[in-house]
Amino acid sequence: MGAGFGGLATARKLAGQKDIEVTIVDRHPYQLFSPLLYQVATGGLPEDDIAYPVRAAIPGVLFRRGEVTKVSTDSKTITLADQAIIQYDQLVLATGSTGTTFGVSGVQENALQMKSILEARKIKKQLLGMYEEVEAGHQPVEALKVVVIGAGPTGVEVSGAVAELQKSMKYEFPKLYKQASVTLVEAGPRVLPMFHEKSSKHAQSELEEIGVTVKTNAAVDQMDKTEVHLKSGEVLIGGTFIWAAGVAAYSTWTSLGETDRSNRLMINDNLQTTSGVFVIGDGAHLQFKGNPLPMIAPVALQMGRHVAKQILNLKNNKELTKFKYTDKGQMATIGRRRAVVEMPGGLRLHGTLAWLTWLALHVFYLAGGRNRISVIADWMWNYIAWGVGPRRTVID
């Protein structure tokens, strides 16, 4: 279940194995490369570049498009929204996660989230469309102010990209572009809280250099259509609010076993729940060095490959083996030639070298030759023609 990073990693390893039939079920017919979603949301890349058709991804694997609504471990079946029932011998739950508002008042109704192509499309439409609304006098100039909530990698990346987008608007809206601004709001004491303090400091000063106002220790109390109210009493006025403050696993599957506060199913070292279902990626809670493994792509990929080995072990009547996570570090990009990279062993990179590392790794992990070439071409064009060339402007 799920054709994301984890599900496809499992399917890839099992494809073509003798006497094994693999079926992937997903509500979308494509794998979404979410690390680059913010570039779609800010007009840097077309959406096709970060979506890869699942049917073409792995020869010999069956694909069924559909929304899974029910899992029965007793009858070993899954039920889809159209009532189709699929029988399984081994189930791998790889359904990922969804945005969560933590119940903060007004967020659901007034903020945009960024978990899917549809949501990225909405952000782009709102960001670009607002200039026309203001130009036509339908909105006040304050509507060009953007507030991003949550300074994890997604919040940092999207606020940096919004700042660059706003600057590039001087050619289309020379009278308006200076009125636009972006504020990044973080409840904790620093941006990129999961990074080393030095990387956080560096990221914040880079963000400020490109024009992002950063507010730390600034928890959101509530919001409405035009205002974000902080717990301190400060009110931020704006026209676009992007909520990047948290993700949780889907609550649909909590009956399959014990879960944590983020709806993640608790699994053992074999990557199974107590009911024997394999769970991988963002939907799984497994401890590593005293903390749950983070909800990031490398975890899903490594778990996905390991589960494929477990299924082969089961088929060959061999013992299941313990999953061992290899920490490959973390990174976030801030803007053109600005990024922070942390490698295992304490090596930290900043600036152009970090940015080039970030670019290379993202191209490497992107699925499909066409997408890779297309992303490289777009990036080169964006780099050379930044601020003078046309952006991707289709927002209807």
Catalytic residue set:
157
User: Closest approach of Cβ 109 to ligand FAD, in Å?
Assistant: 20
**Residues 68-87 interacting with ligand FAD (rule: CB under 6 A):** 68
> Residue 99: beta bridge partners?
247
Examine residue 29 and tell whether it contacts ligand FAD (CB under 6 A): no
As a whole number of angstroms, the distance between CA 367 and CA 49 comes to: 9
For the record, the structure tokens of 118 come out as: 């549809």
Check residue 359 for interaction with ligand FAD (CB under 6 A).
no
* DSSP-assigned beta bridge partners for residue 279: 93
- Alpha carbons 166 and 144: distance in angstroms, whole number: 9
Smallest gap from Cβ 353 to ligand FAD, in A, equals 18
Smallest gap from Cβ 134 to ligand FAD, in A, equals 27
Q: Point out which residues pair with 360 in neighbouring strands.
A: none
**Residues 160, 165: Cα–Cα separation, whole Å:** 9
Tell me: does residue 34 bind ligand FAD (CB under 6 A): yes
Judged by CB under 6 A, which of 14, 94, 128, 203 binds ligand FAD? 94
Residue closer to ligand FAD, measured from CB, 176 or 333: 333
- Select from 5, 131, 241, 278 the one that contacts ligand FAD (CB under 6 A): 5
Alpha-carbon 6 to chain mean position: 14
Q: Are 160 and 334 in contact, with CB atoms under 8 Å apart?
A: yes
For ligand FAD (CB under 6 A), the number of binding residues is: 33
Build a one-symbol-per-residue string for 104-143: x at contacts with ligand FAD by CB under 6 A, - elsewhere.
----------xx----------------------------
Does residue 101 interact with ligand FAD by CB under 6 A? no
Q: Could you give the CA distance from residue 243 to residue 90 in angstroms, rounded to a whole number? A: 36
* Cα 128 to Cα 40: distance, rounded to the nearest angstrom: 12
Show the DSSP H helices in 136-256 as ranges. 153-168, 197-209
Question: Least distance (Å) from ligand FAD to the CB of residue 219?
Answer: 21
> How far is Cα of residue 12 from the mean position of the Cα atoms in its chain?
22
Q: Interacting stretch for ligand FAD, rule CB under 6 A, among 89-97, 164-172, 189-197, 255-263?
A: 89-97
Q: What is the binding site for ligand FAD (CB under 6 A)?
A: 1-7, 25-28, 34-35, 37-38, 67-68, 94-96, 114-115, 153-154, 250, 281-283, 295-298, 300
